[in-house]
Amino acid sequence: MRELIYFDSKNPNCKYPFGSVEQDEEMTFKIFVKDGVYVNRIELHIYEDGVDTPYVFRMSFNCKRGDESEYIAKISLNKVGLYWYRFHFVTENGEYQYRKDGDDFQLTVYSKDYTTPDWVKGGVIYHIFVDRFCKGKDDSAKFTKNGVLKEWGEEVTIKDADGVFRANDFYGGNFQGIIDKLPYLKKLGVTLLYLSPIFKSSSNHRYDTGDYEFVDELLGDEDKFRQLLQEAEQSGIRVMLDGVFNHTGADSKYFNKFGNYPTVGAYQSRASKYFDWFDFYNFPDEYHCWWGITVTPTISQRAKGFRQMICDKGGIIDKWTSLGVKGWRLDVVDELREDFVEDIRKAVKRSSEDNLLIGEVWEDASNKIAYSYRRRYFQGRELDGVMNYPFKEATLSYALGGKAGDFANTVMTIVENYPKQSLDVTMNLIDSHDTARALSVLSGVDMNGTDKEYRKNFRLSKEGYDFAKKRLILASTLQFMLPGVPSIFYGDEQGMEGYEDPLCRRCLDWDNIDKELLAHYTQLGKIRAKYKEQVCSETYFEYQGDLLILCRRGGGKILKVVANNTNQTQTFYCQKAKQELLSGQKVNCNEFGISAGEVKVFLF
């Protein structure tokens, strides 16, 4: 019977408007039935997530075209939430449920007043792991760590002599270094800097916060950070911080396991004012910590005092936002209580609705389940956007030879499931501080069975590098043209390679820049700036043979990204194309050859 019925949630002829909707917004559903199905009644059944009893809407016969009958229902939902729907057929031969390959169709309904910051949309994010980006001359930046301060460019440490990885090798990247490179970042088209954690801590990554009230002394002082914010804004660049609010450091004023702070920490005494911020199984040495890592004790879900410190007026978010911070990225947001996320949003938006709140989510954030609980992120009281890992996986998979249809399906599923205002501010990454470098992944070199020591010492040959770079050019072009905001992990634009943490966190070598790759990324930034309306508008795909054709349409113009991941030249029929934007070349033909592994961006 399925072959006699047609409904595609991604087709606006079947569901309009496409994708997520605002509460009370009218939706039109149409389902098409071939002759041979004797319909007595068709009902649209819509289930609120977690509720077994559906809302039932009777579909009416609308018209008949040839051998196909069209049934229609116009409805609206006034309650914000996640919904699932299917079609219930009553025929003379019995009852039948029409679903999507055995699953219900998804529908996201968001609040009427849900908005996201417009300044983010159409821009470019640059992600800096601060210790490794650039070391500027600054007398206020001081090394006081229990670790080693290395020369810039020395190899990273993967374990100490006793076999333990402590993340305590430092290179001294600092705020002044970022200030020095603001002209470089501006030329690259960057509009938002995302800084890895900057607060005082004992490690080089600073995800083990020691004190949220102070910047780490190795980065410079608060005056230097304020200077960075001011000079970045003068360059048209805003700054987003990493909010690590699920756990602190064991070496912190709050836990103080090693006695390095003057406060009485939770580890030291049950009488500590921070004691109820943490969960002890057997005081003091057995306690709940993030993924069992004892240097990062987890904040208790009941820690009211911690939440007040972060979110209340005059709290941590207020302190740094008042200096000019325009955004926050929430580390492991799926491990935070929803009401805590809502309080964080209120704090971030307290001074301005234009401030940005991003969450770290590795899956489809619209239907994410964490710890057996469905998470809400895009309904109006939570996040603005997330790190778009589904796009990352789809982009790398396609560049490595995956099917165009699989790429398109992943992209359009996210486009369908996310409210557009959320989609437009998602961080589109192809790598990060938590993953292998895109260039290394795209080399296709099989590292299975190797150890970290081997991967540390491995470097691509000239031939292997050029091969991977060609794939990176393809992948980054898709990254920049997809809905959302591309996020460059520092050094990708210069050809940095490396595998998992800490091998993806090496120092950026400013003396050996791949100028061709940098020029490519710079051109991508120019395209986004010039065609902002198009990259913030409609997304759809076209198909010609084995080519992938990603289309962005708006303002009477269309950008078409044409990618060829096959081993043979493919023909793109480009009638009415005006220009190829990566090269700036005018198009004076009706056919354009796309070489193996090549990507082009056409303006229509």
Which residue, chain included where needed, has tokens 């389902």?
31
pLDDT (tens digit per residue) in 252-309:
999 999 999 999 999 999 999 999 999 999 999 999 999 999 999 999 999 999 999 9
- pLDDT band for position 36 (50/70/90)? confident
- The residue ranges of every structural domain in the chain are 2-110, 247-298, 533-603
Q: How many separate helices (H) and strands (E) can be counted in the chain?
A: 14, 34
Measured from the Cβ of residue 457, the count of other Cβ atoms closer than 10 Å reads 9
Active-site annotation, residues = 331, 360
- pLDDT band for position 343 (50/70/90)? very high
CA dihedral 327, 329, 335, 336 (to 10 degrees): -10
Query: Hey, which bits of 369-447 come out as E strands?
Result: 369-370, 373-374, 385-386, 427-429
pLDDT (tens digit per residue) in 559-592:
999 999 999 999 999 999 999 999 999 998 889 9
pTM of the predicted model as reported, rounded to 2 decimal places:
0.97
Q: Which amino acid is at 135?
A: K
pLDDT at 93: 85
- pLDDT band for position 101 (50/70/90)? confident
d(CA 88, CA 65): 22
Average pLDDT value for residue range 470-495: 98
pLDDT at 102: 85
Using the predicted structure, report yes or no on whether residue 2 has a pLDDT greater than 70.
no
What CATH code is assigned to 2-110? 2.60.40.10
d(CA 252, CA 270): 16
Angle at 259 between CA 257 and CA 265, to 5 degrees: 60
pLDDT at 150: 98
d(CA 487, CA 584): 24
Using the predicted structure, report yes or no on whether residue 92 has a pLDDT greater than 90.
no
3-class DSSP assignment, residue 395: helix
pLDDT (tens digit per residue) in 209-248:
999 999 999 999 999 999 999 999 999 999 999 999 999 9
Assess contact for 599 and 562: CB atoms under 8 A.
Answer: yes
Alpha carbon 326 to its chain centroid, in Å, reads 17
pLDDT at 1: 62
Q: Which residues contact 352 (CB under 8 A, 6 or more apart)?
A: none
d(CA 165, CA 172): 19
Q: Which fold has domain 533-603?
A: Immunoglobulin-like (2.60.40)
Beta strand 356-359 with 327-330 is: parallel
Of 253, 227, 252, give the one whose Cα is nearest residue 174: 227
Give me the helices (H) in 303-355, please.
304-311, 316-323, 338-349
- Which neighbouring-strand residues pair with 33? 5, 69
**C-alpha distances out from residue 205 to 208, 425, 435, 537, Å:** 8, 25, 14, 37
3-class DSSP assignment, residue 413: helix
Q: What is the DSSP string of 427-488?
A: EEES--TTS--HHHHHTT---TT--HHHHHH----HHHHHHHHHHHHHHHHHHHHSSSEEEE
Assess contact for 372 and 345: CB atoms under 8 A.
Answer: no
- pLDDT band for position 132 (50/70/90)? very high
Assess contact for 482 and 428: CB atoms under 8 A.
Answer: yes
Q: Is 544 exposed, middle or buried (0-12, 13-18, 19+ CB in 10 A)?
A: middle
Assess contact for 169 and 150: CB atoms under 8 A.
Answer: yes
Average pLDDT value for residue range 72-79: 98
Average pLDDT value for residue range 162-174: 96
Beta strand 169-170 with 148-149 is: parallel
pLDDT at 588: 86
Residue 409 φ then ψ, to 5°: -65, -45
Using the predicted structure, report yes or no on whether residue 553 has a pLDDT greater than 70.
yes
Assess contact for 342 and 257: CB atoms under 8 A.
Answer: no
Average pLDDT value for residue range 322-336: 98
Residue 157 φ then ψ, to 5°: -90, 125
Assess contact for 49 and 82: CB atoms under 8 A.
Answer: yes
d(CA 277, CA 264): 13
d(CA 490, CA 484): 19
Average pLDDT value for residue range 397-406: 97
Residue 351 φ then ψ, to 5°: -85, -25
Q: What is the DSSP string of 192-241?
A: EEEEPP-EEESSSS--SEEEEEEE-TTT--HHHHHHHHHHHHHTT-EEEE
Per the prediction, the chain carries an average pLDDT of 97
Q: Is 518 exposed, middle or buried (0-12, 13-18, 19+ CB in 10 A)?
A: middle
Residue 554 φ then ψ, to 5°: -175, 150
Return the H-helix or E-strand segment holding 155: none
Q: What is the DSSP string of 67-123?
A: TEEEEEEEE---S-EEEEEEEEEEETTEEEEE-BTTBPEEEEEE-TT----GGGTT-
pLDDT (tens digit per residue) in 409-437:
999 999 999 999 999 999 999 999 999 99
Q: 2-110 and 533-603 share one CATH topology? A: yes
Which residue, chain included where needed, has tokens 């805590």?
340
The token pair at 168 is: 């305590």
